[in-house]
Structure 1
């Protein structure tokens, strides 16, 4: 399996000059841009008009139209008769939005890239799009290019900037007409979707295009291969852009630079294709919720556990937080991201630019996951070992007379170890003396590896 992984990623190292044809065989042959696999960790931001009611989740409008009783009652009790979803846009004010403060937070979280929702299924554009007149952040709401301001701020921190974009718009009349025609027409795609995506790419030059809203119609309706051929051959980001697999009802987990497969995708085993775990700090929503309880928020240990499983199995992790309508990121989300940054400041060598090892999690002790880099193997230990002694099974062949074991953050002292009965027992220092919290990483350097 390790050999398979090396072969899989040999195409990542070097970009090649190629003209990609508008078919999946050709598009899928494109090497993954080098930066993405090395980066490992991104921040996802779901922010839009749904951040105003901030009830339920980012599907508020669809749930309201669908007759969700909680939302229907909420509207009846708190808003005047004939209130519409569009009326919320005036309250999407973003008056406290400081993209440079956000960028500082993301940098300090240890993330290497940031992906903003440019447009969700509601159709509201976060930039002054000429294809979304009067339904964009410049024309109604904050009267500001929210997307462009964040792109500038993020890049000052040497972070990669990317964009989420929903193909469908729930109630756009051209989309509804195409649907009624069973996708035999493509007026919505031709006049709205393709020009809009090209506007985004040409104006903001993102390094990620995270497509979504693909499930109702096939890739041929969306003219996905034609657009991606332009993206990879002619666009200003053709050599660096990374796109995902959500380009039609028939493409998910099958075609694309990276596979996202399902929301919160975390298979727990090594995958044969580069993938990403797009997940949420709020367990129940991508957008901000005023009604969230503390029990709905991942603990820092749960976040590190998810990250560890993801990276060990060859994925990247895209960690979502939902900003408020005022343009703030609430303290509990800030705390989680800063805690993660503290942990990565000590243990990041096991994460960044790593590759999966031949075994992903230990065969003897649960809660131990492996990564590797050069001649080193890293064991990420999610639970402090009982009696300060960690017993490992899978890593035993790494140990010999020249092996060295250190605990990241405590590099001044090598750990002692002993082999017996096809397992190795590693003695940890007293927990009160170690630098790291929440999870611990040992680096095993072996001449035999």
Structure 2
């Protein structure tokens, strides 16, 4: 449909075919997928013809999958007399965003995260390295370490986000060992601390710190609060700054059990077991600590 060479981000939008034949072709693909598979998510990537009636396509989807969701990449950039605005595109990309489409249910910042809690749902998407798909030139030095992966994931969840990680199989269909190692590390951490993640929601704030400058991220499950330490504290006694909990609330270190806690004017001091082996993050559950 279009032989334009894609050399930069502006070409990417200008290269979207705009012929009516392509509109019908693209819509037919989506409708076939919807009819056959009733997908939970419509995940388009980057562009869509400006002449397409997305309201009609989205209505078709929602009528078939009422609980379905649509991502924010059905971007319709005008061409011809109204070319994409390079400045607007570059500004959006600098924020990890693409130009705003006419409708979406969740945001998809790429290789980027938000600095605070977002009311609307969002999902950070990235590869473990710099590439989507397998790239034999990438080494472990180009990838998130297992520790960085866990901590990034916790940070994203605390701010109402999901993490979409790309894993690229090699030509023989197997997952590269370096990628498998990172996924297994995340799975091992979740096997102990998943209660603080699965089904959780943001608390009133996402971030905190301790007296030893260890970062803290908060999540909640109903009235229960989870304070997740993004490092192994240097001492068993840890004060979480500016944190108050109800009198008599039970405090538990996930994977261990009950721990002692003492409220002070400047925060909550908990005493962790000693010695404490190094881990990417530790999750502390405070029953009733999230409030109503």
Classify the TM-score, shorter chain: 0.7 to 0.9
CA distance in 2, matches of 1:370, 1:447: 11
Partner of 2:66: 239
Of the candidates 267, 270, 277, which is equivalent to residue 124 of structure 2? 277
| Alpha carbons of structure 1 residues 186 and 376: separation in structure 2 relative to 1, 3 Å | same
CA distance in 1, matches of 2:46, 2:128: 22
| Alpha carbons of structure 1 residues 448 and 242: separation in structure 2 relative to 1, 3 Å | closer
Q: 1:168 Cα shift?
A: 8.2
Of the candidates 346, 355, 375, which is equivalent to residue 223 of structure 2? 375
> Greater relative contact order: 1 or 2 (C-alpha under 8 angstroms, separation 6 or more)?
1
Q: Which consecutive aligned stretches of 4+ in structure 1 deviate over 4 angstroms post-superposition? A: 167-170, 363-366
CA distance in 2, matches of 1:405, 1:257: 36
Of the candidates 300, 315, 323, which is equivalent to residue 161 of structure 2? 315
Q: Which ranges in structure 2 are unaligned for 5 or more consecutive residues?
A: 78-98
Of the candidates 17, 28, 37, which is equivalent to residue 195 of structure 1? 28
Q: 1:354 Cα shift?
A: 0.6
Partner of 1:386: 234
TM score, norm. by length of structure 1: 0.54
Q: Deviations over 1:147-173 (max 9, x none)?
A: xxxxxxxxxxxxxxxxxxxx9896xxx
Q: 1:253 Cα shift?
A: 7.3
Partner of 1:133: none
Partner of 1:445: 287
| Kept in 1: contact 2:41–2:69 (CA 8 A) | yes
Of the candidates 253, 256, 260, which is equivalent to residue 416 of structure 1? 260
- Cα-Cα RMSD: 2.8
Q: Deviations over 1:295-330 (max 9, x none)?
A: 111111111111111110011111111112222211
TM score, norm. by length of structure 2: 0.81
Equivalent pairs, count: 263
CA distance in 2, matches of 1:278, 1:349: 23
CA distance in 2, matches of 1:202, 1:169: 30
CA distance in 2, matches of 1:388, 1:304: 22
| SS at 2:165 equivalent | strand
What does 1:295-314 correspond to in 2, within 5 Å? 295-314=141-160
| Alpha carbons of structure 1 residues 213 and 300: separation in structure 2 relative to 1, 3 Å | same
| Kept in 2: contact 1:222–1:248 (CA 8 A) | no
Partner of 2:82: none
